[in-house]
Amino acid sequence: MQNPRRESRRDSMDQERPLPSVVERMWGREPVTRRGPRPRLDLATITAAAIEIADAEGLSGVSMASVASRVGVAATALYRYIGSKEDLLTAMADGAAPPPPEPAGMSWRDYLTLWTRAHRDIVLEHAWLLSVDRLAPPLGPRRLLWLDRALAALDGTGLDHGEKIKVASTLTGYALTDAALIHSIGGGDPTMENAAITGAADYGEVLAGLLDPVAYPALSAAMRSGVMHGAEGWVDDEDFVFGLNLLLDGVEALIGQRASEKQRASEKS
Tell me the pLDDT tens digit for each residue of 115-161: 999 999 999 999 999 988 665 678 899 999 999 999 999 999 999 99
Confirm whether 49 is domain-assigned: yes
Q: CA dist 128 to 64, 133, 174, Å?
A: 17, 10, 17
Confirm whether 122 is domain-assigned: yes
Return the pLDDT at 20.
83
CATH of the domain at 262: 1.10.357.10
Return the pLDDT at 133.
63
Q: How confident is the model at residue 233 (pLDDT cuts 50, 70, 90)?
A: very low
Q: CA dist 120 to 95, 178, 216, Å?
A: 16, 7, 32
Percent of residues, the chain, with pLDDT higher than 90: 57
How far apart are the C-alpha atoms of 264 and 250, rounded to whole Å? 21
Question: In sequence order, what are the residues at sequence separation of 6 or more whose Cβ sits closer than 8 angstroms to the Cβ of residue 220?
Answer: 207, 208, 211, 212, 213
**C-alpha angle 34-36-42 in degrees, rounded to nearest 5:** 80
Region 60-72 average pLDDT: 95
Among residues 61, 95, 129, the one where a domain terminates is 95
Return the pLDDT at 190.
39
Do residues 118 and 194 share a domain? yes
Name the more confident of 18 and 263.
Answer: 263
Region 191-200 average pLDDT: 47
Q: How confident is the model at residue 225 (pLDDT cuts 50, 70, 90)?
A: confident
How far apart are the C-alpha atoms of 122 and 145, rounded to whole Å? 15
Return the pLDDT at 191.
42
Q: CA dist 185 to 131, 134, 171, 203, Å?
A: 17, 20, 21, 8
**Per-residue pLDDT at 96 exceeds 60:** yes
**Per-residue pLDDT at 13 exceeds 90:** no
Do residues 47 and 135 share a domain? no
The per-type count for the chain, helices as H runs and strands as E runs, is: 12, 0
How far apart are the C-alpha atoms of 23 and 29, rounded to whole Å? 8
Among residues 72, 95, 118, the one where a domain terminates is 95
Do residues 21 and 70 share a domain? yes
Packing angle, helices 161-184 and 141-153, rounded to 10? 120
Do residues 131 and 78 share a domain? no
Region 181-191 average pLDDT: 62
Nearest by Cα to 192 from 202, 201, 182: 182
**Per-residue pLDDT at 105 exceeds 50:** yes
For 77, the domain range is: 15-95
Name the more confident of 138 and 189.
Answer: 138
Contact 181, 228 (CB under 8 A): no
Give me the chain's average pLDDT, please. 84
Q: What are the φ and ψ backbone dihedral angles of 220, each rounded to 5 degrees? A: -60, -45
Return the pLDDT at 95.
95
Return the pLDDT at 165.
97
CATH of the domain at 29: 1.10.10.60
**pTM passes above 0.85:** no
Q: Is 32 helix (H, G, I), strand (E, B) or coil?
A: coil
**Per-residue pLDDT at 169 exceeds 60:** yes
Return the pLDDT at 253.
98
Region 195-215 average pLDDT: 76
Measured between its terminal Cα atoms, the distance across the chain in Å is 35
**Per-residue pLDDT at 14 exceeds 60:** no
Do residues 180 and 87 share a domain? no
Return the pLDDT at 113.
97
How far apart are the C-alpha atoms of 143 and 136, rounded to whole Å? 12
Region 66-73 average pLDDT: 95
Name the more confident of 250 and 266.
Answer: 250
